[in-house]
Structure 1
Amino acid sequence: MSSIPAHTLNDGTTIPAIGLGTWPMDDVRAEEAVSGALGLGYRLVDTAANYHNETGVGRGIARSGVPREEVVVTTKLPGRHHGYAETLASFEESRQRLGLEYVDLYLIHWPLPRLDKYVDSWKAMIKLREDGLARSIGVSNFTPRHIARLEDETGVLPAVNQIELHPLFPQEERRAFHADKGILTESWSPLGRGRLPLHEPAVVAIAEELGVTPAQVVLRWHIQLGVVPIPKSAAPERQRENLDVFGFRLDPAQVAAISGQVRRRLGGDPETHEEF
């Protein structure tokens, strides 16, 4: 497999161009999956307090034998801990479960605008970054309106916004906003829930033409859009397949064909979804 390129974030840190998602693995499966994935060459691992597998992820990192400084570890603040003091306490709980001295990327999992506490949480995350406990800070499922408010009230933009993004929901406007602001886009459920996009005729035809799998086509599409996909897999053969997407390219017509599916959101709406 080709080496994994990296993106430089707006705070000067770097992040691999593809990562491993761990939802909805439990601790046992997460330990096995993370250890195995790091052995295959993954260097970005994504978890969250609400995945209830941070302990397993931390054990998998330790078990892998890969030097800590080579692994980018992401975790996320749950909605029940929004607020300044609550965020600091929640981060420490996550850090202890992971067994790490620092976290590479800490995200607000959902904005929960009804609670109206995400700015307070963001201020706490800025402190965590200043203290060196979180190398980079960002958000997940935030809209441009939410991000504009963070910038207006703190002067600090997220390094990353992790959002639902797949061929059925390519998020052109959101990606353009991020690019204008210097925010990296990450994709959760990059293959779609139930792997729905993999059965689209355009995806299947391109996979046959290139001699790769539909999943590899979709992940390559993400890479060429300049976003970071974090596909979840516990199976070593699937992990290997998902990582092996840097030895071929899609042409512009293929990228456009994959992007041209009927639009369909598969997850929650950030304006109304509540996650605690």
Structure 2
Amino acid sequence: MEAFGVGGIDYLDQIMLDYPGPDCESIEGQWSAFQEMHAQKLTKSISVSNFSPRQLDCVLEKATVKPVVNQLPISVAYHPGDSIAENNKRGILVQAWAPLGGSLGGRFDGNIKKACAKIGKKYNKSFAQVALRWIVQSGGSFTTQTKNKDHFAEDLNIFDFELTDEEMKTLSSLA
């Protein structure tokens, strides 16, 4: 915590516990340290990354501050089980990392890109916009990265259309 004085940093907007310990006892210890940082106003919010429902329950069992976000590898190409719903029912927002594929976010093979692009034609949207819209309509949020301002603007331009139930089912079946 002494590192906060370096560079004039007084607090963090959010800190995220990534890849939890192997058991509830270690997870509870890690989370306790995060809650202490929150209590000392060194961070505005505390979150987790790559936590399973069981690991979330370890945190929630003794938490005085609930995680705001669970950042998970979620995409049209990769969405294990009901991970978004499991987090949402615990009051935790899912933020998808690698939402357009890659690494653990699942590879967007030709069939997935074609399916997203086909749906996108109906709305005058790119395959990426359709894939990101699917995440939002599934109850999640996402983070993307780009150095291209046009791609960034495109990623944000997904709130002027809505996928039908049938389109959601089609995209959900592709993983």
Same fold (TM over 0.5): yes
Shift of 1:155: 4.7
> Which residue is 1:204 aligned to?
117
Calculate the aligned-residue CA RMSD, in Å: 2.4
> Which residue is 2:98 aligned to?
189
Cα deviation per residue 1:5-57 (whole Å; 9 max; x = unaligned)?
A: xxxxxxxxxxxxxxxxxxxxxxxxxxxxxxxxxxxxxxxxxxxxxxxxxxxxx
**Separation (CA, whole Å) in 1 of partners of 2:141 and 2:9:** 23
1:222 aligns with 2:135: yes
> Which residue is 2:10 aligned to?
101
> Which residue is 1:166 aligned to?
75
Query: Contact conserved, 1:107 with 1:139, CA < 8 A, in 2?
Result: yes
Query: Contact conserved, 2:133 with 2:162, CA < 8 A, in 1?
Result: yes
Which of 32, 40, 43 aligns to 1:131? It is 40
Query: Contact conserved, 2:84 with 2:139, CA < 8 A, in 1?
Result: no
Query: Contact conserved, 2:45 with 2:68, CA < 8 A, in 1?
Result: yes
**Separation (CA, whole Å) in 1 of partners of 2:21 and 2:93:** 21
Query: Contact conserved, 1:198 with 1:214, CA < 8 A, in 2?
Result: no
Cα deviation per residue 1:92-112 (whole Å; 9 max; x = unaligned)?
A: 45x846x54322221101114
Cα deviation per residue 1:60-93 (whole Å; 9 max; x = unaligned)?
A: xxxxxxxxxxxxxxxxxxxxxxxxxxxx45xx45
> Which residue is 1:176 aligned to?
85
Where in structure 2 are there 5+ consecutive unaligned residues?
none
**Separation (CA, whole Å) in 1 of partners of 2:84 and 2:76:** 13
More deviation in 160-169 or 198-207? 198-207
Query: Contact conserved, 1:198 with 1:204, CA < 8 A, in 2?
Result: no
**TM-score normalised by L of structure 2:** 0.85
1:251 aligns with 2:164: yes
> Which residue is 1:149 aligned to?
58
**Separation (CA, whole Å) in 2 of partners of 1:136 and 1:251:** 34
Shift of 1:117: 3.3
Amino acid paired to 1:166: S
Structure 1 residues 129 and 242: alpha-carbon distance in aligned structure 2, compared to 1, 3 A threshold: same
SS at match of 1:238: helix
Structure 1 residues 156 and 101: alpha-carbon distance in aligned structure 2, compared to 1, 3 A threshold: closer
After superposition, residues 20-31 of structure 1 pair within 5 angstroms as none
After superposition, residues 31-70 of structure 1 pair within 5 angstroms as none
Structure 1 residues 96 and 223: alpha-carbon distance in aligned structure 2, compared to 1, 3 A threshold: farther
Deviant stretches of 4+, over 3 Å:
153-156
SS at match of 2:66: coil
Shift of 1:197: 2.7
